Structure formats: C-alpha cells, structure tokens
Structure 1
Amino acid sequence: MFTGIVEHVGTVIEIHELDKSASGGGGWSLKIGDCEVILTDAHLGDSISVNEFEKSWFKIGLAPETLRRTNLGELKVGDKVNLERAVSAGIRFGGHFVQGHVDTTATIISKTPDGNSLYIKMALTDPSYIKYIIPKGYISIDGTSLTIIDVNDAEAWFTIMLVAYTQEHVIFPLKEIGDKANIEVDMLGKYVEKIVSGMLKGDSEEAGGYLESIVRKYVDSRGKT
C-alpha cells in the first residue's frame, strides 16, 4: 500500500527485454538508478524492489500483464521515474490509498499554464474507467496522488492541476502532449460499485437482488390490504 506522495525521482539505467540473469528470470526487466535515498531500508521482495538491489539501484521484473496495462514497456534509458516506498506505520497519510496496481493508461491531450500552476487534460486508453473518476476525487498518475478537476464522461477525459511544488518533485511535467501515463483509479469506487451492484442485481437471476426483494415485499403488502 502506498500514499501516492512521491519520495524521490530515479533514472532508468538499463532495459532488458530478455533478461537471462539469475534475477531476470528470462523476462523483461528494468534497472532503476540514482535512488540510494530510498534503498536504505529496502529488502528483496519489497514492493519497490522485486528482484535485486544494491546501494544505489534496484531491478524490477515486468510480467506480460504489467506491460499490457502500463507504459513501462515504452521507457528508455535516461527516462525518469517516480519512486515511493510502501507506507509504514506512524506516518502522516498525505495522499490517498494507492495500491500500485495500474488499471490503464491515459494520453496527455493538452497542457495549459495558469500562473505557476499547470492544468493537464488526459484521455483514457480504456474509457470504461471514466466511471470511477469524479471531480475533486483522487487519482494516481504514474504513482502520484492527484486531485481531479474536471471530468467528461461521454468523451472519457479528465483534467488535473499541478501546483508549483508538485511540478518540481514528480516526473509528470516532463511528459509532452501525446505521451502516456499510468493510471490507477480510486479503489474505494470499485468496492462500492461491486457491493451496490450485488445488492441491486443479486448473485444470480434466480436469487434476485435487494431492490427486487423490496419491490416484492411492497407488492405483497398491497395485495393483502
């Protein structure tokens, strides 16, 4: 579990589409450097350090599902990446509940300066996720917890705003129009949808749902009067 508050920006120093080393496992891997500051208490198997790490770098393996859902397969040596360690007890929770499980990507379609702030408009690669995005709600973009400004459900786009401090501490402002970013919608919306859907529709057509049971009780009560 993460907060979406970026601790440090690292640099991609190696990419292997077929990593045959012991830690690569014959799959796609990335090596991230310039990140000694967040590896002081890292261990093999941690969320940020999956396969291998040294004093100032760590290696991650990318499964096919990860490559399909994220923009990590498009990274190049020298690109910057946001880094955050998993949340620990006893810290201020400054962002929102971020799992680090990317749902889809979104493409930047406009960037508009407003004083020292920056408005960015993005279109979802998978429009079905727009139902989980609401104005003033949370969203995770490349691991950064951000607040949504506007949402267009019909066209599946949304806007966010970056204040000056955020622009200086995350990789998002480095992206250009047409670039993609990883998107994780607020998981609370998905839980609510599943619970409410089950109540209204039921587990099966035979069982019915909560709404159907209320209607039946009302009809039965009217029939007895």
Structure 2
Amino acid sequence: MFTGLVEAIGTVAALEPLDTSASGGGGTSLTIKDCAEILTDAHLGDSISVNGTCLTITAFDKDWFKVGIAPETLRRTNLGSLRPNDRVNLERAVAANTRMGGHFVQGHVDTTATIVSVTPDGNALTLRLRPRDQSILRYIVEKGYVTLDGASLTVTKVVDQGEEGYGYWEVMLIAYTQEKIVTAAKKPGDEVNVEIDIVGKYVEKSVQSYFSQGAGGDFAVLEKIVGRIVDEKLKKATM
C-alpha cells in the first residue's frame, strides 16, 4: 500500500530482458540508481513503487536497487519502454506512522494513458490524458483521485466522449508538484501509468451484486439514481 506521494526520483541504470538469475524475480530485471535516501531502511522482499507499479526489491546496495518485472506487468505499464538514464517516480510502502496525505494507492496499474496536451495555467500545468482502455473513464470523477506514474493527483475535468472521438480527463500540476515528479517533464504523446481509485471498483461491484439478485434488489432505488443523473446532465446541457 502506498500514499501516492512521491518520495524520490531515481534513474534507470539497466533494463535487462529475459533475466534468469535467481535474484531476477521476474521475466525482466530493472535496476534503479541515485536513490540512496529511500534505501536506508530497505530489506530484501520490500515493496517499492516504481512509476506507480508495486515491485519487490530483489537486490540492493547503498545507492541502487533491483526489481523483477513479470510479463503481465510489462503489458499493463510503461515500464517496458524505459531506457538507461530515464527518470522514475519512487515511493516506499507505507509505514504504520505514515501521514495519509495522498490516497490509498495499491501500486496495481490498471492501464496506461497518453498525454494529449500540456497547457500552462499561470505557474501550473494542465495535463489532458487519453486512456488506452476507455472503459476506465467510468471510474474517473471530477475532484476525485487518480494515480499517474505513482503520484496521487486530483481530477479537474472529465469528458466521457469528446468531439475528438474519445474520452479524456485532466489534472493540474502545481509548481511544487512539478519539481517532485517525473510526469511534469513529459510531453504530448508520452505515456503514463494509471491506477484508478479502488473505491470506485468496490462500489460498482457492490451495486452490481445487489441488483443481480433480481426480485431481491430494489429497482425503484436504481430508477431514482438514474433519474437524478439524467436530470443533472440535462441541467448542465441547458446552462
């Protein structure tokens, strides 16, 4: 479990495909350096978030650590596109005394998103993102949380289906955040790892389970919910 508050920015030292060593821990081995500040209390087997992906430390020294990446993780994330000297967001798993300044982040990437645009707004930056898996947009809500490359950010706008033919959402990076995460340096066309707020998934499954009971589910409640949503949409459309 993580908070989405990036602790350090590390540098990719090596990405070795088809690693078969005992310490590899996966189909591909990733070595990160320049991160001594988060390794002072490290142990083999510890979880660490690399660009929002929960991975296991399989080897480490004072200034570097190594993790194994499974094929499924490579398919889900942008880690496979990393190259030596690329920079990555890092966060250690939460401790019992950690302040929850972000939100509950699992480190389980749902999909990637492409940066469509980066627009200055004063000293802040607005990023527009198009998810590879458009179905996750149902979990993205304005003023809700979303994790991008391991950083907990607040959604400022959601468009389920834009004139461009796809849905997208936007987040804003304040000046302080820009200095603390690698995502601020990315350009249109670059990909970021996305983890949606797990609460939305639990709510969806609970609602589906409730109404799948047929006569046991109160469909009048569902009608009221849908009616309220439709009314709100119509109201916005006429404003």
What TM-score comes out, normalization by structure 1 length?
Answer: 0.89
Residue 164 of structure 1: aligned partner: 175
Looking at CA atoms only, which structure, 1 or 2, has the larger radius of gyration?
A: 1
Whole-Å separation in 1 of the counterparts to 2:25 and 2:117: 39
Q: Is the 8 A contact 1:16 1:29 kept in 2?
A: yes
Does the C-alpha gap of structure 1 residues 95 and 26 become closer, same or farther in structure 2, counting only changes over 3 Å? closer
CA drift of 1:42 comes to 1.0
Q: TM-score, normalised by structure 2?
A: 0.84
Instruction: Assess if the C-alpha contact under 8 Å between 1:198 and 1:209 holds in 2.
Output: no
**Partner of 2:6 in structure 1?**
6
**Matched residues, number:** 211
Partner Cα separation in structure 2 for residue 77 and residue 209 of structure 1: 57
CA 1:213 to 1:172, structure 2 compared with 1: closer, same or farther past 3 Å? closer
Equivalence map 1:51-66=2 (5 Å): 51-66=58-73
| Alignment of 1:103 onto 2:110 | yes
CA shift for structure 1 position 24: 1.6
Counterpart of 2:84 in structure 1 is: 77
1: CA distance between counterparts of 2:42 and 2:216? 47
Which residue of 131, 136, 153 corresponds with 1:129?
136
Whole-angstrom distance in 2 between the partners of 1:213 and 1:175:
47
- Structure-2 separation of matches of 1:107 and 1:57: 29
What are the ranges of 5 or more consecutive residues in structure 1 without an aligned counterpart? Answer: 215-225
**Is the contact made by 2:26 and 2:70 (CA closer than 8 Å) also made in structure 1?**
no
1:210 aligns with 2:217: yes
Letter of the 1:168 partner, please give it. E
* d(CA) in 1 for partners of 2:128, 2:62: 38
Structure 2 unaligned blocks of 5 or more: 49-55, 222-239
Q: Sequence identity, in percent?
A: 57
Cα root mean square deviation, aligned: 1.7
Give the direction of change, closer, same or farther, for the CA distance of 1:12–1:78 in structure 2 (3 Å limit): same
How far off its partner does 1:68 sit? Answer: 0.7
Q: Which runs of 4+ in 1 moved over 2 A?
A: 211-214
Cα distance in 1 between the residues matched to 2:209 and 2:126: 38
Residue 93 (structure 1) aligned to one of 100, 119, 138: 100
Mapped partners of 1:30, 1:128: distance in 2: 30
- For residues 118 and 164 of structure 1, the distance between their equivalents in structure 2, rounded to whole angstroms, comes to 8
Query: Relative to 1, partners in 2 of residues 1:212 and 1:167: Cα closer, same or farther, differing over 3 Å?
Result: closer
Go from structure 1 to structure 2 and tell me whether the alpha carbon gap of 1:51 and 1:116 turns closer, same or farther (over 3 Å shift): same
Distance 2:216 2:132 in 1: 33
Q: Secondary structure at the match of 1:129?
A: helix
Q: What are the Cα deviations for residues 75-128 of structure 1, in whole angstroms up to 9, with x where unaligned?
A: 010000001111111222100000000000000000000110000000000001
**Residues 45-89 of structure 1 deviation map (CA, whole Å, 9 limit, x = unaligned):** 111143111111111111011011000000010000001111111
1:84 counterpart SS class: strand
State the alpha-carbon separation in 2 of the partners of residues 116 and 213 from structure 1: 48
Displacement after TM superposition at 1:23 (Å): 0.9
Question: CA 1:190–1:22 in structure 2 vs 1: closer, same or farther (change >3 Å)?
Answer: same
Aligned to 1:17: 17
Q: Distance between the aligned counterparts of 1:11 and 1:54, measured in 2?
A: 15
